[in-house]
A and B are shown apart, each in its own frame.
Chain A
């Protein structure tokens, strides 16, 4: 019979333990995954409005600072304006669609 490598029992036990732990974690977060995503999306949308306020025509006293953040939000800009119900880009200088 082929001999098993030393420590295999410990390794097997560890694997089982981490699988159990992962399963328990999934049992905890699974049912609410979607609600969390929605809440995060709401937060992101608020952040987007704060950053783009000036560009969208809302006077913003903090525009000097938020302008710096603009490059960080470009990537999600297209999905954001579609999600909030504006089919085409509301900003003239951004031709995302």
Chain B
């Protein structure tokens, strides 16, 4: 019964957030105006700027921001007990993520669809914009290294997922050919694609692939990581229609199926199962394993996506704002997009606290900080699904592992593609023209270097996960400070942006300082992470100072008049 109650409470808080708080934000703070001409109409070109139905736009926005992070973060954070994780996910979604995502979407729409980087140059200054590139580079590098390790762990712990995960690539290739070469209609292709994907899961479950101790002279861990990087490099170099586009699409459809299965299972298992899920995890874990960092501030950076994430602001201002049909749609697309991610995080929490049979079993999984992660989600969720919809546990585990791996893989190769662009851009700054293939090679070398920096098992990849959280939250606080500056310029009360801004900034900064101490530990120093952390800390201070100066300047200027946004010069921005 406990899981169902928590699910209902979580859903109720998020529903209230959407119905009440987002309405307040939309009407009183952002004053969304249906008559405002959005960039999608003003700069309409049928390519980047295109008015889009709000439900479809929500789908795009949600699937773009949903990666493996809302699964990994909460699954790890439950080590401090389910209550803190649940509170941070629900209230974080309502007051932090919703505000941040809706705010960045609104700010970009009001500024002719400019990205958050361009907005930071306008409102905080050129230095803010440069800092942004550094932060983006670090975030992307951490994403590809961490996700390679996450996928490797899943492929080893759930060998049934090997066939569906690699088979999904073949399915995507065939979908791409069917749509673009054969010109077959999309609806039957979608149905067949999803059915084939799920059949592969059944096949994989029957034929688990366990690698021998040495494959091509490498251990299974090393082999999978190298294979993933080779795959990512090829995928990021292929034309988008061949693999990337159909795979993202099938993943998007699968994401919705997965969410329905998970929540449906909790409901059905509680109502009809002979063994309803009981919460075995403690509400607040007083006996955390040795080596676990303190809950405050680490909880706030461990659960990034699913509560607040700077990456969402990049997507909201990068592509979503250019497709917004009416300004009032921003409430549904931006705020409800954050709620979607919150739901995924809530589903994860339910899986990792209610899916184990005993406290001892739970303690075994959570015996060390950072080891539980996605594996706990897969194991716990599988038990829930077995009780709820009657799927055998091993098959359910394969379903969930495939889902998690596909998300992580999508994010990984998109990350590699984006990082390649950053490398090429950085090359241009030094008057060097770096081709596609050399740039990808640089990305692969950097990524593999980071992943293997702690040993051939890929330990370096996951150790940086808390750093990913810190950097990501830093990006979120930068976006929130831009929103605050704009609100001040418009003579409106910036308090709804300031409170999450201050909290998330303090937590991210504090976490970064704590980690700095642990990286200097004389018994096990880690100078590479130390250097990365120093960069992040310097960047945080930089953002804070720049933002405070910008806010003070904004306060001294006379308030903008109502039509100030409409009078801005329209500038198209390449995305």
Q: Which residues of A contact B (CB under 8 A)?
A: 20-21, 23-37, 39
Contacts and interface: CB of A to CB of B under 8 A. Distances in A.
A31 B319 contact: yes
Interface in B31-56: 46-48, 50, 52-53, 55-56
Interface stretch (B179-187, B367-375, B498-506): B179-187
A34 B575 contact: yes
Given A30-B56, A39-B240, 13 more contacts: A21-B187, A23-B56, A27-B56, A28-B186, A28-B249, A30-B323, A31-B245, A31-B248, A32-B245, A33-B48, A34-B47, A34-B319, A39-B239
Mostly, the B contact residues are: helix
A31 B241 CA distance: 11
A23 B252 CA distance: 13
B185 A21 contact: yes
Given A23-B53, A36-B240, A31 B60 contact: yes
A36 B46 CA distance: 12
B59 interface: yes
A39 B246 CA distance: 17
Main secondary structure on A side of the interface with B = helix
Interface size class, chain B? 20 to 34
Nearest to B319: A31
Q: Which 7 pairs show the lowest CB-CB distances between chains A and B? A: A37-B47, A32-B245, A35-B240, A34-B48, A28-B249, A26-B56, A32-B240
A31 B64 contact: yes
Contacts of B186: 21, 24-25, 28
Contacts of A25: 186
Interface string B320-331: 000100000000
Contacts of A33: 46-48, 50
- Name the residue among B56, B60, B246 with the largest chain A CB count within 10 angstroms: B56
Nearest to B248: A31
Given A35-B240, A39-B239, A26 B52 contact: yes
A30 B64 contact: no
A29 B59 CA distance: 12
Given A31-B60, A31-B319, A24 B55 contact: no
Contacts of A39: 239-240
A34 B64 CA distance: 15
A87 to B, nearest CB: 18
B221 interface: no
